[in-house]
Amino acid sequence: MNSPFVPTGAAKPTQSDADFLLAQQLLQQGQTARASALLQSTLMREPAHQPSLRLLAQLAMGARDMASAQQCLEKLAELEPSNLQHWLQLAMLHRAGGDAAKEERALFQVLCIDARDLMALLMRGDLFERQGRNHDAAKSFQAAVAVAPDAEKLPPPIRAMLVKAHRYCERYNQSYSDQVESLIANAASQFSGAELDRFRLSLDIMFGRKKRYESQPMNYFFPQLAPVEFFERRQFPWMEALEARTEQIREEFLAVLQGEQGFIPYLSYSEDQPLNQWVELNNSPQWSAFHLLKDGLPVAENASRCPATMAAMALAPQPDQPGRTPVGMFSLLKPRTRIPPHVGVSNARLVTHLPLIIPPNCGFRVGNTTRQWEPGRAWVFDDTIEHEAWNNSDLLRVVLIFDVWHPGLSEAERVMISAMSAAFNQFAQSGGGFDL
């Protein structure tokens, strides 16, 4: 008959198991010496009894008996070579004992098991820093920073180690960039500042001084178009003619403004849509628009009040996707209002700004580049790169906004994008369904 205390098929407890349980009871009673002696006796009989090895290693470390702790941990690592905790504890032990070579080997074993182990990466960075191996330390700390979760989720000791890693990386990158800048200064001296703008941005991104921004359209992405924040004026031969009409356009806007009709919130999402960063500006008069072209067609009543503005926008190659583009409007940003970072719908088109009324303390950022509007000075940018705007003044800011074809698209590509848009319309039996 089977014993009611031992499940059928389960291994019966050995004498070593019984001694281990007794050792635990002795520890609970404060009899540490007797428990340690019992564990040692157990391991004399059964050297591979892992529960006894783990507990004896813990007791040895508590008693600062590093030799005994090392012996137990090495045996555990031999028995369970894929258990990174054994190697991690060995690394800590060797660090406490000042044996850098053995600490490095143990950390190597941990990272062979899990190359993303945060504690091992932090410890190895610290080890390399102590040894003066600055490049190796930076690699380990950078890897730790890359894999680390939110610092608030980490225990305080590990959080402190992560803060140290961040600071080390900052100092290292600063030293690295300073030296590189010094070494290339002679080569850079033969060029003007503007010629090196992109190269200097590449250094800023490499050294972590700036972020890398790419085209991230919400809907339609056209491949192999370079993500450019602000485009060179020379790519748009119509721009000077547009700027020459600034005063006429501004006069038409002021007349419209005086009439106080036709202005609607720039954003008007339905209540059942996720608003995300647009909670404050959705259906808000703080950011409003007077539409001249909307969803590919003129807004007849508004357009008739602004013939000079309509003619000026027609100078540019406007996208042709009925139901979607072209679009054109007066954009009004009221005082003390900020438009949060966002991206546009398609990189097949670009966005033009012609500033009309620009008070102080206004700004516009696309990717890594921040500019201030100048009345009558237009620019073209890729709105699928993260961008934001602000009016920190006490006055109204007004910009004429309209879209144009991306100059990198061939005539054949433009024709096919327009045909694709028409196909979307036919499929959806409407002018929407896939914004461009």
Cα distance between residue 124 and residue 139, in whole Å? 10
Which residue in 198, 189, 199, 190 sits closest to 232, CA to CA?
A: 198
3 state SS of 387? strand
Strand partners, 230: 381
DSSP state string for 247-309: HHHHHHHHHHHHHT-S-EES----TTS--GGGTTTTT-TTEEEEEEEETTEE-HHHHHT-HHH
Whether residue 4 has pLDDT greater than 50? no
The H or E element that residue 371 is part of is strand 369-371
Give the whole-number percent of the chain exceeding pLDDT 90: 59
- Assess contact for 411 and 325: CB atoms under 8 A: no
Whether residue 231 has pLDDT greater than 70? yes
Tens digit of each residue's pLDDT (9 = 90 or more) over 401-432: 999 999 999 999 999 999 888 888 887 765 55
b or e along 130-163 (b: 16 or more beta carbons within 10 Å of the residue's beta carbon)?
eeeeeeebbbbbbbbbeebeeeeeeeeebeebbe
Whether residue 61 has pLDDT greater than 80? no
Q: Which pLDDT does position 99 carry in this prediction?
A: 92
Whether residue 15 has pLDDT greater than 90? no
- Assess contact for 337 and 287: CB atoms under 8 A: yes
Residues 368, 372, 375, 380, Cα dihedral to 10°: 0
Q: Which pLDDT does position 16 carry in this prediction?
A: 81
Neighbouring residues of 277: CB distance < 8 A, sequence distance ≥ 6: 340, 341, 342
> How many angstroms separate the Cα of 240 from the Cα of each of 159, 199, 315, 412?
55, 28, 10, 27
Q: Which pLDDT does position 337 carry in this prediction?
A: 97
Q: Which domains does the chain have, with CATH numbers?
A: 26-169 (1.25.40.10), 233-428 (2.60.120.330)
The residue assigned the tokens 């919130």 is 265
Whether residue 336 has pLDDT greater than 70? yes
Cα distance between residue 104 and residue 118, in whole Å? 15
Cα distance between residue 355 and residue 353, in whole Å? 6
Q: What is the average per-residue pLDDT within 293-319?
A: 96
Neighbouring residues of 92: CB distance < 8 A, sequence distance ≥ 6: 123
b or e along 1-39 (b: 16 or more beta carbons within 10 Å of the residue's beta carbon)?
eeeeeeeeeeeeeeebbebbeebeebbeeeeeeebbebb
Which residue in 229, 228, 266 sits closest to 398, CA to CA?
A: 266
Cα distance between residue 237 and residue 298, in whole Å? 24
397-405/387-391 β-pairing:
unpaired
Q: Which one is predicted more confidently, 45 or 217?
A: 217
Strand partners, 364: 371, 389
Mean model confidence pLDDT for the chain? 89
Cα distance between residue 400 and residue 6, in whole Å? 83
Q: Which one is predicted more confidently, 102 or 7?
A: 102
Q: What is the average per-residue pLDDT within 248-260?
A: 95
Cα distance between residue 234 and residue 248, in whole Å? 24
Q: Which pLDDT does position 31 carry in this prediction?
A: 83
pLDDT band at 44 (very low <50, low <70, confident <90, very high): confident
DSSP designation for 374? B
- For residue 326, is the peptide bond before it cis, meaning its omega torsion is within 30 degrees of 0? yes
